[in-house]
Structure 1
């Protein structure tokens, strides 16, 4: 473990914070917290915490002894000073004499002693920091320390590795009881550099930020050095099929199986998950081991992971290429067993709860696929990535633990207590989900004009966006705005389209809504236009729509969750304009393509609808074209663009909102929405 402390950077941090009226203690606390949080072998996704005891002025200007401790919701890798709220230290320190303190009272007294009532809740381990006498305190879930202590003889190993440099604290659930025990151990060993919380993590302490940080690095390095000496062979391989199916084939099947059935609304209303796939030689060795049923079913490497990964991962059969039906049947049986086991796990441990808990959904958050890799699951791509990151960390820790001995984490009752601990569940938040949350939306031609507006409109509704455009730069720009995924793809190339949908399925787990929008407006008098122009227009304005829709349906049917196809057909499909045959003819074919998908795939729960738009200032109707048409009609540009029954200019966002409306219209298929401000000639009859 490398010590990244820099005197220059530390002085810069002090100067930057001083300019904001923030003192040196808190400035250095932020600096070293970020150093720790930037190392994934120490801290992941909101885990760990740090503190400093210092003085700040209260509202009267009087200096007050406070504990600045990491607040809930802040990540150590990106923390700022507000993420370390100040709590009056004296009232917290006085609690050490109590025999017991409920979680509710603990949270209340911590909030009551905040100097700023708008601050986030202090860490659940605030009292542990308060009860220790040291000025700077750091806490991480070091992989190396976990691998060392997640053993049947973890206490003996830790005592041998750390000697008198760190004292050992037995596993106790975080909260008042752990804070009391850590204080007791610290008083018995006043000269130690740190505390090893068995099967949980590590604390380091110091008089300065540099000392506490340096001690963390040194102590973790001792654990790493011990692990480096371990030579036991691990993960002997199981017998697997010779050819393993790819993630693009496996993910949609799993996504369909793992979706929670809706009480009403049909397949499309099911509450689904977003996936994140991970693979590497280390992961493949782990998931393909003969004893995966043992080491993967022990529980989380540190209790903090349980709220993100649940108590255990789901292990499914190895997916043999060409035999996906057999894989689906085996995966369903594995999931049924997992759900039954989870119900049993809840019932066993809820019986001792007063008051009783409400069972969480029984679906796993990590799926292990022998021969292939692992999937993290979440309600968003962010949450799926977090679950996958923690699963990868689990692979690393368990591998190190197995090289040393036998992986063994905290007992099942303790796992349950953490998973169902209200203070931990509060970290996940309880925000109401937006209407299209958990939906994977693909927009072709998404780099500009109507496509870009559509991608942004769906993002505002909570969807996960994939922006496809032939121009990779434009796709990336819009994907960045919607926090989505960009794909450069020529939609007139069937091989590229198939590869794109395979990548989407492997990346997110599947597809729910596709807006087939890419197009271009070729012009020419139909009796004069050359064949090459007409064929080129059909390639983009018809065949590309078929290629996109066909691949979307392929993925949607594998999921078994229904889906929604949305086509941009243009008013040319029903009201051809002069010299626009090369554009209108394929668009008319695409309108009937939409209806054919509605007819043929309604039984699959797949809806198919279209938007018929006109005079939209976008990639199809450029400023030059607007000027040319306005001049030809003797109109101003404004009069031309607003030349409809309502006299209003129609924007790309108006079209985007119609696509969103159709996506939400769960009982509409074969429908066309006209977005043109009123053009009776283009109205459907």
Structure 2
């Protein structure tokens, strides 16, 4: 167990960095510093503000402007353009337009009229909460230690016990204009207070300088953290453990079997991406006596709730029995029951103008002895949803140890989840990219064609698992793509396509990292050149092992997962012109590639009833970036055609009908076509990308 000192937040304010900054940049510095520690606030949660004197562009006079985090931002990663800016005099003038709490949502429509300098950043619903606190600097955060107090049955009394008159308390109120007026009233009546705890929500703190506001926020959280740690030191978390965790390998094995099955159930409206979390805090919770009872109460903080739904689904796995087969058999009924319960919750709580029922599937899945799985429309959202539930776990741990944990009341939870303002925000979301929610495995992923295909898929919103046998090249390629597209969507796994166990493990890793698989690009390859009488049995077998057997093994394991998901899928073989058109001194290579093409035809027949499409892309003479042209193959082909290395690409280009070089990006585009909806009615096809070779015409 961590010592109390190790649980406290570090004060990260650096005068050497902050010195000389204007107020707006100090606000950004304070915000980023607070958001750098997820114990202060979760991703996208909370907001910060400063009231700054600015020059009015019309009058040239000094005016007071509210800088406040705009809608949808994250204080840990935002830049200056993430803040909304609004005239304070206009925000104060809105009070004369307010018609009462039943009309408070209409006040959001007035916020654009308060915009300073035509700032396009939309103001959030929390803007009045910052505007009407009569202090220059305001922080609103969702620290776990604070919400543990806020979500306790006697949160008002606990707040008084911990903070005295320094920090006040306000009862639950949905964020909005009325709560802004409540905060103003509290501040005016309690001028000596440094902040307020909002029941079931979070913390507001304030000060007259950016530094003092930051110091106040960190100190208040640490006071609560220390108090909780002392009170709970000898209290078993969540009533104590009733299950023991499986070993790490066993946990991931169970997750690899569960995630494709769950993914198939939850992807009816759109393809979903999974995330697996087996951290110590998650395992402590899922193994505990009180887990199911606490999970049923739902989350408290609105930010937690919006990301995780009203409650998770507890999967009926028993780690002592390791009853995964029985769990998978019973999973459909569990999912149906959850959907029915969620639909009943919607029907109980809906209003005449409520948005239509949304996806009734769970977001969070808790598995005793194994961990937590979350599913969402993309990997980042799935991961963040899991992080939010970890925040909720921490809150439940503290609240249930010092009091009685209280989830958000059902009607209040519904009114936030189906809030018309939230619905409007959802409707403004950009249209998803063409491969959003798709998971691709690319073998030979570190080579020119493999990495170009991965990049093409990533640019269209897919998640990609790179597989390759070369660890150095794999690491380098993953690094380049991660830098371009982010850590969430790119993973890698070492894999020898001829090793049955390695292939199965790579597909299992893909399931654990992303939830399953939708696209396989079988691209691993070698090339060899020798007259038939000089072709050894080892050379022949090596070609067949990698280019035929390897493609069979990867496809077989992919088929297994795709059938469990029951969502269809696309398999693309990167073969070769040589699979259709023979070349001299390459009998082993040409024969293996022909075998590969015919295997694709066979798989197209078998996969069609499950919606699994199998197609072939046939490149020719892709020299640039290709690993197979870095070794003896280049010398051998140059020798066969009586040229040198420099002249070989020109020879291939001139040999083609179109007189054009074929590049890795050209093959990637063909692989994208077979993965995308544009080819949804194509299977068993061969697409030549060879700049034209009459011998390779398929008909």
- TM-score w.r.t. the length of structure 2 is 0.90
8 Å CA contact 1:316, 1:330 repeated in 2:
no
Q: For residues 465 and 116 of structure 1, what CA distance do their matches in structure 2 show?
A: 42
SS at match of 1:42: coil
SS at match of 2:359: coil
The one-character-per-residue Cα deviations of 1:379-429 (angstroms, maximum 9, x if unpaired) are 111111111111111122211222222211221111111111233345555
SS at match of 2:556: helix
SS at match of 2:582: coil
Aligned partner of 1:20 in structure 2 is: none
Q: For residues 140 and 602 of structure 1, what CA distance do their matches in structure 2 show?
A: 52
Aligned partner of 2:689 in structure 1 is: 675
What runs of 5+ residues in structure 1 fail to find an aligned partner?
A: 16-23, 262-270
Q: Quick check: 1:157 aligned with 2:158?
A: yes
Aligned partner of 1:232 in structure 2 is: 235
In the TM superposition, what is the alpha-carbon distance from 1:124 to its structure 2 partner? Answer: 1.3
Where do 1:411-490 residues align within 5 Å? 411-426=409-424, 429-469=428-468, 470=470, 471-480=473-482, 481-483=484-486, 484-490=490-496
Q: For residues 352 and 55 of structure 2, what CA distance do their matches in structure 1 show?
A: 42
8 Å CA contact 1:49, 1:76 repeated in 2:
yes
8 Å CA contact 1:515, 1:568 repeated in 2:
yes
8 Å CA contact 1:479, 1:486 repeated in 2:
no
Aligned partner of 2:390 in structure 1 is: 392
Aligned partner of 2:3 in structure 1 is: none
In the TM superposition, what is the alpha-carbon distance from 1:96 to its structure 2 partner? Answer: 3.8
The one-character-per-residue Cα deviations of 1:505-559 (angstroms, maximum 9, x if unpaired) are 1111111110000112111111211222222222222222122112212222222
Q: Quick check: 1:166 aligned with 2:172?
A: no
- Judge which range, 200-209 or 577-586, deviates more: 577-586
The one-character-per-residue Cα deviations of 1:36-74 (angstroms, maximum 9, x if unpaired) are 111101111211011111111122332211111111132
Q: Quick check: 1:645 aligned with 2:666?
A: no
Q: Quick check: 1:326 aligned with 2:326?
A: yes
SS at match of 2:532: coil
Q: For residues 630 and 338 of structure 1, what CA distance do their matches in structure 2 show?
A: 66
SS at match of 1:297: helix
Q: For residues 274 and 181 of structure 2, what CA distance do their matches in structure 1 show?
A: 41
- TM-score w.r.t. the length of structure 1 is 0.92
Q: For residues 322 and 686 of structure 2, what CA distance do their matches in structure 1 show?
A: 39
- Judge which range, 559-568 or 190-199, deviates more: 559-568
Task: Quickly say closer, same or farther: Cα 1:457–1:104, change in 2 above 3 A.
Answer: same
8 Å CA contact 1:465, 1:479 repeated in 2:
no
In the TM superposition, what is the alpha-carbon distance from 1:7 to its structure 2 partner? Answer: 1.3
SS at match of 1:616: coil
Q: For residues 73 and 84 of structure 1, what CA distance do their matches in structure 2 show?
A: 10
Q: For residues 482 and 524 of structure 1, what CA distance do their matches in structure 2 show?
A: 41
Where do 1:508-547 residues align within 5 Å? 508-547=514-553
Q: For residues 36 and 198 of structure 2, what CA distance do their matches in structure 1 show?
A: 22
Q: For residues 132 and 647 of structure 2, what CA distance do their matches in structure 1 show?
A: 79
Q: For residues 500 and 479 of structure 1, what CA distance do their matches in structure 2 show?
A: 19
8 Å CA contact 1:73, 1:120 repeated in 2:
no
Q: For residues 482 and 165 of structure 1, what CA distance do their matches in structure 2 show?
A: 45
Aligned partner of 2:344 in structure 1 is: 344
Aligned partner of 2:122 in structure 1 is: 121
In the TM superposition, what is the alpha-carbon distance from 1:283 to its structure 2 partner? Answer: 1.4
Q: For residues 480 and 690 of structure 2, what CA distance do their matches in structure 1 show?
A: 25
Q: For residues 486 and 383 of structure 1, what CA distance do their matches in structure 2 show?
A: 20
SS at match of 1:467: strand
Task: Say what the alpha-carbon RMSD is for the aligned residues.
Answer: 2.4
In the TM superposition, what is the alpha-carbon distance from 1:114 to its structure 2 partner? Answer: 1.1
Aligned partner of 1:100 in structure 2 is: 100
The one-character-per-residue Cα deviations of 1:64-91 (angstroms, maximum 9, x if unpaired) are 1111111113211122222223210011
8 Å CA contact 2:271, 2:436 repeated in 1:
no
What runs of 5+ residues in structure 2 fail to find an aligned partner?
A: 1-8
Task: Quickly say closer, same or farther: Cα 1:225–1:99, change in 2 above 3 A.
Answer: farther
- Judge which range, 489-498 or 359-368, deviates more: 489-498
